[in-house]
Amino acid sequence: MSKRSLVLLSLLMLLFPLLAACGGQPISPAAGGEQTQTASGATGAQATKPAGDTTEATQAPAGTTADQPQAGGAFRYGRGGDSVALDPVNVTDGESLKVTRQIFDGLLAYKPGTTELVPALAVEVPEPTNGGRTYTFKLREGVKFHDGTDFNAEAVVFNFDRWRNSKNPYHKGGGGNSENFAYYTAQFGGFDKDSIITKVEATGPYEVQFTLKRPQAPFLSNIAMGAFGIASPAALQKNVEQFWQNPVSTGPFKFVRWNQGSTVELEKNADWWGSELPLEEGGRGPYLDQVTFQSIPDNTGRTAALVGGQLSAADGLTPDDVPTIKANPSLQVLDRPAMNVGYLAMNNQKKPFDNPKVRQAVVHAINMPQIVQAFFGDTAEVASNPMPPSIPHFNKNIQPYQYDPELSKRLLSEAGMANGFTTDLWYMPVPRPYMPNGKGIAEAMQSDLAKVGIKANLVTREWGTYLQEVGSSKHSMALLGWTGDNGDPDNFLNVLLSSQTATPEDANNIAYYKNPEVDKLLQIGQSTTDEAERQRVYFRAQEIIHQDAPWMPIAYARPPTGAKKTVQGYTLSPTGGEPFNSVYLAEGGR
């Protein structure tokens, strides 16, 4: 037995009592769980594949056979951290959205394994009218929220009014350390008069019309994002302040209980409207009786729990874990399509990072190829741009920053800092798809920076607090990343690097990078539907950002997920989370 196998066995023996205590018992509905927040875990306009999207059009579900899906069983999913909140519009972290994708449905969705649009609570993907400023959604009839109330046009209007109007009485209720409608502001320009959406009105019992102040190229792709799941108006009216931990929507699974810091428990929605739709449209199922999300921050411990049979599936596998999973005849490894980027952000509003030469010195001081090889192995490639190659209008002419310590020293000298300086470097406390080992990567960067005279003191926080504080400019340098929500460049460049998202609190642009020329280019890219023009402006924006170096891209990862071979019908999404309605357990998998 290898040393690593002994470590896994030892950890498994330690974990078994905890996991056995959390699992194995029938799930019964409850009006919420323990309320002590101890979270340990931060998204084509037409129904066609977006130009330049290299995602496979049809990704075969895991373990798919000719057998009919089997109903029943409990599915336990191991992840690196807890959710921050369960109100999808009020979070930006993947751990929260993985859960809310099971509970919430939106007007539109993505075809499994891709970012191609398909209908969801709307019966079709609408065509724009009025010069691209009007969209009319025809809605499904007979759909019920989990609380038994009706889904209809008024419910859609209620949700969008809650999100877009700051004076709406239900424009609140984030809870925990969650964001404050950050996704809405990032994708639709802000609240009230700043919002690109000027009107949402019910034009019939099951018809809703959206009016925009100007065309927005990614509008329909934005609408399909998991953040814009439609909540039960009755549940929000009953207790909006606690909705973040008692979510109610129309999805394939109903919320049961959140044991914060440990598990989120869900149960089958036997009346789910999507059970009759074809698989390729995101339908069928749900087959599972129960779904439990189990938080296990330690990578090796999570792998041990999967190997020992306490988990049905686990994400956040490190490259070292993959051979262990592949060698086990009862397990399988699934690769998620790459649509993410990890990065080191430098706070451009804090000295000395307000000087571009200092930022350039930092990026040339770090041996990124060595770091990516050490911490990602063959599951990632060194990044060059703030968005991955799978996104349309990726500028292939830009190369990753070269590792050149001598150039770094010259740049520091030119910036008047020949003797270096001292700063802080924040690292994430949990593994993420784009960052499997935040602390290890930070330590490697710390070592490289020291060689050019930059002393970086390492800082971390509990996950929810980490997101809150780096989103409030508490850091000088910080590690973070982004998994794309909709396959559009706007979702990376505009969300992460525009001035409007460099907000005093809940910032998505944690580099606090503000360049008016880049802002103008991103605005053009968002508002035009001419793909040639979009390519021109996005290519130029990437060139300017590369020169300004507000942050250093680290890697584009293909995050591996491990699962039992009895887990079938499981298609991983490039967005970092997928509904489990199509997942079922083969004979012997319960």
User: Is omega for the bond preceding 247 within 30 degrees of 0, making it cis?
Assistant: no
- Average pLDDT score over residue span 13-21: 40
Nearest Cα to Cα of residue 277 among 583, 582, 70: 582
pLDDT at 11 over 90: no
Judged against a pLDDT cut of 80, whether residue 32 lies above it is answered with no
Q: Are strands 74-79 and 290-295 parallel, antiparallel or unpaired?
A: parallel
| Cβ neighbours for 499, distance < 8 A, ≥ 6 positions apart | 509, 513, 514, 515, 516, 519
392, β-bridge pairs: none
Which residue, 302, 330, 327, is CA-closest to 316? 302
- For residue 17, the model assigns a pLDDT of 40
Confidence at residue 538, expressed as pLDDT on a 0 to 100 scale: 98
What are the beta bridge partners of residue 334?
Answer: 561
- Residue 479 tokens read as 């590690």
Rg of the chain over Cα atoms, rounded to whole angstroms, equals: 23
**Position 64 confidence tier, pLDDT thresholds 50, 70, 90:** very low
Q: Could you read off the pLDDT of 500-554 as tens digits, one per residue?
A: 999 999 899 999 999 999 999 999 999 998 999 999 999 999 999 999 999 999 9
Q: Quote the pLDDT of residue 299.
A: 86
pLDDT, one tens digit per residue, over 392-419 is: 999 999 999 999 999 999 999 999 999 9
Question: What percentage of residues in the chain have a pLDDT greater than 70?
Answer: 87
Q: Is the pLDDT of residue 57 over 80?
A: no
Q: Which of 434, 384, 401 is nearest to 542 (CA)?
A: 384
Q: Check whether 86 has a pLDDT greater than 50.
A: yes
Q: Band of the pLDDT at 474, cuts 50, 70, 90? A: very high
Burial class, 562, CB count within 10 angstroms (exposed 0-12 / middle 13-18 / buried 19+): buried
The band of 499, judged by pLDDT with boundaries at 50, 70 and 90, is: very high
Provide the pLDDT for residue 177. 66
Q: Is the pLDDT of residue 244 over 50?
A: yes
- pLDDT > 90 in the chain, percent: 77
Report whether pLDDT(321) > 90.
no
pLDDT score for 92: 85
pTM for the structure as a whole: 0.79
Q: Is 24's pLDDT higher than 90?
A: no
How far, in Å, CA of 405 to CA of 410, rounded? 9
Bridge partner list, 255: 266
Residue 576 reports pLDDT greater than 90:
no
User: Which phi and psi (to 5°) does residue 154 adopt?
Assistant: -65, -35
pLDDT tens for residues 373-396? 999 998 899 999 999 999 999 999
The answer to which of 8-22, 86-100, 408-422, 532-546 has the lowest mean pLDDT is 8-22
pLDDT reported for residue 40: 29
Spell out the domains of the chain, with CATH numbers in brackets. 3-42+70-336+559-585 (3.40.190.10), 340-557 (3.10.105.10)
| Model pLDDT for residues 270-282, shown as the tens digit of each residue | 999 999 899 988 9
